[in-house]
Chains A and B, each alone.
Chain A
Amino acid sequence: MSPIASSWAAEVAAVFVKEWRCEFRTRYALNTLALFAFTTLVVTSVSLGPMGIAKAQGSAVLPVLLWLILLFSVAAGLPRAFVQEEESQTATALRLAATPSALFCGKLLYCLTLVMALELLVTPVFLTLMSLGVESPGLLAAVLAAGGYGLAVGSTLVAAIIAQARTKGTLFSVLSFPVLLPLLLLVVELTRTAVAGGIGDMGSTAGVVLPQLLLYDASVSVAGLMLFPVVWNP
């Protein structure tokens, strides 16, 4: 690795380590995400538990609920990534010291690990509580990985854009809608396929939609890296 690339990677690692160190000492995002996920899981299982929904309907409806729980848990915790920097006035020090692309990637890596941890926590509990069988676990794992990355990169980008605005909460919802809607449609479709089984028509659905999901992830990543220096610096 060239010295420039290794210095850049060291910057990314420094931001990532700093984010987790601050998070472990305040537990703001961890608590928010865990509390939201726990509450929605309990409400869902009590209202629509194994006895409350027919199996045929379950494979169509429950994937939607799973991703809604993940989306709103993420929306409750992740916008803080950049908002916190502005509110606590540490953004000035970061602007003067960090390479914008390294800062974006460090924050993204932090959000990604948080989303992955959330998925690891929520998905098995959700599947168990709902007695939802998965015919293609490999496809589900791929969807959770690619969908989780999409959620993390989309949320990081939107959080960076709204950080300097006055009405951050409203703006996050307004901007998240066009950024995250295509992602949600894709991951819900793929999760249904994973639940029903990756054979016949379903297999071809996965073959078409999974590349679209990967394309979405790549597009938002490139857009984030290009837009971030513009929205971050004056």
Chain B
Amino acid sequence: MPPPLDTRLSFENLRRRFGRLSVLEGVSGEVGPGELLLVTGPNGSGKSTLLRCLAGLLAPDRGTIQYREDDRVLETDERRRRVGYVAPDLALYSELTAAENLEFFARLRRTGPEWGLEVLRRLELPTDRMAGALSSGMRQRLRWGWAMLHRPRLLLLDEPFQNLDAPGEAATRGLLYEHLDQGGLAVVANPSSLEIERVTHRIELGR
């Protein structure tokens, strides 16, 4: 991964409503190379909605999102394909093995599966097992392998350590800190701030 010195994500005054229910209202933030933005708040405060907006999976009703790589602002379509995204509602194909899933998505991302498979090896996930036969913790490890597949500069992590046992959590934390050490950006949504270290920016929702 080239040193991502010119990578920056900023968002301003984001608003998102579902019908009459206002989930996000005037949320702003910024994160640069090697920085981690932590988003906390109780259930239903809009953490996942914010991450889905940042990933380009949901369009905000109001406000702007600007993601810059190498002095170029990426359009939403391009941003969507660049980010690494881990979330509880993201599933891979249960009829395919972990390795087949990564090979399929590597072809879509126009890259090789090697780095994703290396991540799975570090996370001690059996790559020949069907995704549908994995435990919830193993599935979370597979999500990490999938998110890191194309070596993204921006990681969007929604409850990234959910369902992981102690070794799994330590291994994924290692990946996150390695990503930050290499100048990557991360936005982490978590109900509690206690579990996350190396936070450089913080947003508390639902207050």
Contact = CB atoms under 8 A, between A and B. Distances in A.
B92 A18 contact: no
Nearest to A10: B107
A99 B95 CA distance: 22
A17 B83 CA distance: 25
B197 interface: no
Interface stretch (A45-53, A86-94, A164-172): A86-94
B201 interface: no
A17 B100 CA distance: 11
Contact of B57 (A22, A96, A99): A96
B89 A11 contact: no
Given A10-B110, A21-B100, A92-B57, A97 B81 contact: yes
A97 B87 CA distance: 15
Interface in A171-203: none
Given A18-B104, A93-B146, A234-B59, A11 B110 contact: yes
B75 to A, nearest CB: 11
A97 B105 contact: yes
Contacts of A234: 56-59
B81 A18 contact: no
Contact of B95 (A14, A25, A93): A25
B96 interface: yes
Contacts of B107: 10-11, 13-14
Contacts of B108: 11, 14-15, 94, 97-99, 102
Interface residues of B, number: 28
Determine the main DSSP class of A at the interface with B. Answer: helix
Contacts, number: 68
B90 A97 contact: no
B67 interface: no
Determine the main DSSP class of B at the interface with A. Answer: loop
B154 to A, nearest CB: 12
A2 interface: no
A5 to B, nearest CB: 12
Contacts of B80: 95-96, 233
B110 A21 contact: no
A153 B56 CA distance: 27
B95 A22 contact: yes
A18 B91 contact: no
B113 to A, nearest CB: 11
A18 B96 contact: yes
B96 A7 contact: no
Contacts of A233: 56, 76-77, 80
A88 B91 contact: yes
B4 to A, nearest CB: 19
Interface in B78-115: 80-81, 83, 85, 87, 89-96, 100, 104-105, 107-110
A25 B97 CA distance: 12
Contact of A95 (B57, B89, B93, B109): B57
B8 to A, nearest CB: 20
Interface of A: 7, 10-11, 13-15, 17-18, 21-22, 25-26, 88-90, 92-99, 102, 233-234
19 contacts: A7-B110, A10-B110, A11-B110, A14-B108, A15-B108, A18-B96, A21-B96, A26-B95, A92-B85, A92-B89, A94-B108, A96-B81, A96-B83, A96-B85, A97-B108, A99-B81, A99-B108, A234-B57, A234-B58
Given A18-B104, A22-B96, A90-B91, 17 more contacts: A11-B110, A14-B107, A18-B93, A21-B95, A25-B95, A88-B91, A88-B93, A89-B89, A92-B57, A92-B91, A93-B92, A93-B146, A233-B76, A233-B80, A234-B57, A234-B58, A234-B59
Q: Which 6 pairs show the lowest CB-CB distances between chains A and B?
A: A14-B107, A89-B91, A97-B108, A22-B95, A25-B95, A234-B59
